[in-house]
Structure 1
Amino acid sequence: MTLLSTGRNRSRFRFRRTVAGLGAGALAASLAALTLAPGVSTASSHREAPLIAGDPRADNTDVYAFTSPDNPDTVTLVASWIPFEEPNGGPNFYAFADDARYNIKIDNDGDGRPDVTYTWKFTNHVRDAANQFLYNTGVVTTLTDPDLNFSQTYDLTVTDSHKNVQTLLHNAPAAPSRVGPASMPNYASLFSQAIRPLPGGGQTFAGQSDDPFFADLRVFDLLYGGDLSERGLDTLGGYNVNTLAIQVPKQVLALKGNASRNPVVGIWSTTDRRGADVTRDGRPGKDSWRQVSRLGNPLVNEVVVPLRYKDAFNTLSPDQDRTVQPVVDKVLDPILPKLIQQIYGIPAPATPRNDLFEIYLTGICAACGPIVADLNAQRLNADAPVNRIVPAEELRLNMSIPPTAVPNRLGVLAGDLAGFPNGRRLADDVIDISLQAMEGAAQTGVLVPELADGDKVDTNDHGFGASFPYVPLPNTNP
């Protein structure tokens, strides 16, 4: 998540080591009012917050946003749920929750609130619940095959900043879990059948896929136990997730519908579940939807937010982030560099880390912080109301930057401006990029040589597709 002065970009981007003060932008607030009662699941990513481990169908694992490489007039947004799905995990396999809402949200004016929200709501269908235990009773060749005993459909809606809701799809079919070669000998056909066109242009997909995230998560074992030779195993290899993807014209997401004047958008995903409101006199109120999972930039809640605040953080809207001072403090003075210094002796960069504040909370622009470059802050939108822009944790994408012909896995770190942290492509190596960001590469302009190899997992265990939805087919055991 850094800008590194390398090669052809050395003259374009300059770096300064001085950092500006935060000022009064971050408001202190009590976390007590945000903490949820036991039994309510919150947080996101791969089991990285305490309560979400008990509710995997609400656990959002990753979010991706990029200009579509084969259709550069559009943007593709991808989000996944349910970590560590075992292949052939029957007899019930893996379904989206039918009592939850899955959202991908877009902020185009920088106020931390959604201006465009895509929402998927699923319905379960069982052909024979009384006399069958099987997911399918024969070979499945289509999404409406009578041998598919369990299936799901969904409604897809889009909501604007004024809460106006439009239904884009009704009862659209989701791809089933991949049962195995005997039941689904041509799963690629079922996968393709789940790609659905959208009114007004674009397309969407819902179903199971290979987990596109790649990393050696043994990093959480005391940073590989102090031995950097103990790296290189893709912990997510062979596992599946449930994935939602949507591809839409850029103007649909842009402020005032003008992607030329206003190319920068912020993206995050959430999961909602119903919870009971309680009136002031203590009586039960009307059931309402509550946010229980949230994810924007990768690894924020895993390695930036302290354990005490993980669950509460994921109930917030990004426009509230600046009011939670304990979390802001950990952006400015992060834990991970201190651990790296303690275990490996690599000096932690000086604080306050205003470079990370810029990367995570404002987007990168010359007027935003110590990184002297204009990349992906909503402040760069010509029609943005500058007085309403607030620090907010979002995955920001500058839609005007075209796809790279030969993408570099280190993204902006290697001068590839179409990559992370300018959005996030499926093949971006966010573990390696984030390690270098934490070690101050955006301030120094050079990689930390001891961490140059990162986790030594540089690619996914399966290649990515050349067309929408780009994610690989789910894994299966023969």
Structure 2
Amino acid sequence: MLTPTAFGSRRLQRTALATAALLTLTGAALASSHREAPAITGTPKVDATDFYMFRSYEANRAGYVTLVANYLPLQDAYGGPNYFKLDPNALYEIHVDNNGDAKEDISFQFRFKNELKDIMVPAPLGTMVSIPLTQAGAIKDVNDANSNVRETFTLDVVTGDRRSGTRTAVMNGSSPVFDKPVDNIGTKTFPGAGAYAAYAAKHIYTVNMPGCAMPAKVFVGQRQDPFAVNLGTIFDLVNAPVAFITDPTLIGAAGPGDLADKNVTTLSLEVHRDCLITKAGAAANDPAAVIGGWTTASLRQGHLHSGSPKSGYDTSAVKAGPWTQVSRLGMPLVNEVVIGLKDKDKFNASKPSGDMQFASYVTNPTLPVLIDAVLGLGGAAPTNPGRVDLQTVFLTGIKGVNQMSTVTPSEMLRLNTGIEPVPFASQNRLGLVGNILAGGTDSAGFPNGRRPKDDIVDISLVAMMGGLCMANGTTDALGFGAACNPSAVPLKETSFKLHDGVDQATVPLLPAFPYLNTPIGGTK
């Protein structure tokens, strides 16, 4: 059962905000989660790319929290004729921990079904023949007659353990079935200016969430990839075109990144904040206002066929055995640039409650050493033992910012739902870090959750190269220990000027739910 609550708000101290802003580098470093582990490269339909969780900043929706899980990376818009349908044999989930035990208390579970309509047309001799395409003409409406495949999904809410808890279906009127829009094939299939956007908007559903008195919103469909990063150059030994920025005006002149022409498939929910926490009236200064979130995808252990399958839509295929988790994502880039290569598949199969097995990757991070070496910085990696600064953000959350009532070391994205959202135009792309540097009032950004505009890469570079110890100072102001001080940061003030040559603020986004932009169409 989702528990209703009301929130207050408070102004957070600048020092704590700076911490929060800089702290997140541990798990977030240099790109979104695309092809992050060896095994997941073979099952791209269940590969999570990014996870967002933030207070809704759409007008008149400030009481809501938006959760976005993106899957199926690197979609080329022209990728027909079958395009990018999600896996009907998979279980996609968004989890929320609202008491700090590193276990899910609420899970939103998505299952998909792709029904082949088998549209046929008459051949010259009168024989009816199946068409080879996803569409037989222009598409305008939900479950349009010209769509050759009907893509649908169901959504269940599970309270308690994801497998043994109480499960309730979310209803689309009197039916548990929701339609997913066809991908943006092109201008012939969706003719007219804004045609695809209008068509996709018909798939934003207002629903009654079980146990919640306030109606929620749901959208599942293709979107433009919202993450700005020089993906190729970053993984070419951090071969970034701009290593350090000394002129702030250069940031706005940066390019859009390698993913600017790619799409993803998004699972989006907007749920009232009162329905995600445990304590009625919890305000921003109350740890009960903080939630943790992550997304997973799972497949069945077994795969059997009753005879030879006739097509990819053949229901004779039987998936057997328990669900096996194959993808996991909370804070960005943990698996890519924190977890060692030998343990990446293991991390994708793990749960937050077991994260201490990966603690050595946090206490002894290798990314600063690599950045130091490949950029020729001459020993710029921070030297404070154990990287307590990173442990705090990565495993426990920041006290007074996004630490929960009970502290269980675990990796997840943490959001203080009591902090008021900031309108898009006023958001600082550097989140809490930028807010502190600018002396502003935007305390609603990464690492306090994650908004689409937050420039994860730049924030993470600052934190990884010692920004937290700079903020901790010589008086241990932030509680990271006396060894975490400016003398442990060879890069010193220059660490605040790290930049990857890509500007997250240039990514086109929508002003309202589902926030991610209309996908790029296949017609050039």
User: Same fold by TM (over 0.5)?
Assistant: yes
Contact 1:157 1:167 in 2 (8 A): yes
Residue by residue over 1:320-376, the C-alpha shift from the partner in whole angstroms, topping out at 9 and shown as x without a partner, is: 111x1xx211101100111122222251112211111111111111xxxxxxxx100
Partner of 1:153: 152
SS in structure 1 at match of 2:504: coil
- Name which of structure 1's ranges 64-73 and 340-349 shifts more when overlaid on structure 2: 340-349
For structure 2, which runs of at least 5 residues remain unmatched after alignment? 1-11, 20-31, 120-128, 246-253, 304-318, 436-441, 472-485, 487-491
* 1:187 pairs with 2:196: yes
Deviation at 1:45, TM superposition (A): 2.0
For structure 1, which runs of at least 5 residues remain unmatched after alignment? 1-7, 16-43, 278-284, 366-373, 380-385
Output the amino acid matched with 2:510.
G
Deviation at 1:276, TM superposition (A): 3.9
SS in structure 1 at match of 2:158: strand
- Name which of structure 1's ranges 178-187 and 442-451 shifts more when overlaid on structure 2: 442-451
* 1:203 pairs with 2:217: yes
* 1:399 pairs with 2:432: no
* 1:408 pairs with 2:428: yes
Residue by residue over 1:273-294, the C-alpha shift from the partner in whole angstroms, topping out at 9 and shown as x without a partner, is: 10149xxxxxxx9611111100
Contact 1:439 1:448 in 2 (8 A): no
SS in structure 2 at match of 1:320: helix
Equivalent-residue separation in structure 1 for 2:519 and 2:70 (angstroms): 12
Output the amino acid matched with 1:425.
R
Question: CA 1:120–1:226 in 2, change beyond 3 Å: closer, same or farther?
Answer: closer
Q: Decide which of 210, 223, 229 is 2:238's aligned counterpart.
A: 223
Equivalent-residue separation in structure 2 for 1:439 and 1:211 (angstroms): 27
Partner of 1:212: 226
Deviation at 1:450, TM superposition (A): 5.9
- Aligned pairs for 1:457-472 (under 5 A) are 457-459=502-504, 462-472=507-517
Equivalent-residue separation in structure 2 for 1:289 and 1:257 (angstroms): 34
Over the matched positions of the two proteins, sequence identity in percent amounts to 36
Q: Decide which of 13, 33, 44 is 1:45's aligned counterpart.
A: 33
* 1:363 pairs with 2:397: yes
Contact 2:228 2:256 in 1 (8 A): no
Deviation at 1:258, TM superposition (A): 5.2
Deviation at 1:215, TM superposition (A): 0.7
Partner of 2:184: 178
Equivalent-residue separation in structure 2 for 1:431 and 1:14 (angstroms): 16
Deviation at 1:213, TM superposition (A): 0.9
Output the amino acid matched with 1:189.
A
Equivalent-residue separation in structure 1 for 2:15 and 2:45 (angstroms): 47
Equivalent-residue separation in structure 2 for 1:121 and 1:258 (angstroms): 34
Q: Decide which of 382, 390, 394 is 1:349's aligned counterpart.
A: 382
- Aligned pairs for 1:3-402 (under 5 A) are 10=14, 45-70=33-58, 71-128=61-118, 131-161=130-160, 163-169=165-171, 170-185=176-191, 186-199=195-208, 200=213, 201-217=215-231, 218-224=233-239, 228=243, 232=255, 234-256=257-279, 259-260=282-283, 262-276=288-302, 287-322=321-356, 324=357, 327-343=358-374, 344-345=376-377, 347-350=380-383, 351-365=385-399, 374-379=400-405, 386=406, 389-402=407-420
Output the amino acid matched with 1:149.
N
Contact 2:230 2:240 in 1 (8 A): no
Equivalent-residue separation in structure 1 for 2:456 and 2:16 (angstroms): 23
Aligned residues: 417
Question: CA 1:175–1:239 in 2, change beyond 3 Å: closer, same or farther?
Answer: same
Equivalent-residue separation in structure 1 for 2:271 and 2:221 (angstroms): 18
Contact 2:291 2:404 in 1 (8 A): yes
Question: CA 1:196–1:149 in 2, change beyond 3 Å: closer, same or farther?
Answer: same
Output the amino acid matched with 1:357.
Q
Equivalent-residue separation in structure 1 for 2:443 and 2:297 (angstroms): 30
- Name which of structure 1's ranges 167-176 and 294-303 shifts more when overlaid on structure 2: 167-176
Under a length normalisation based on structure 1, what TM-score does the superposition of the two structures give? 0.83
Output the amino acid matched with 2:73.
P
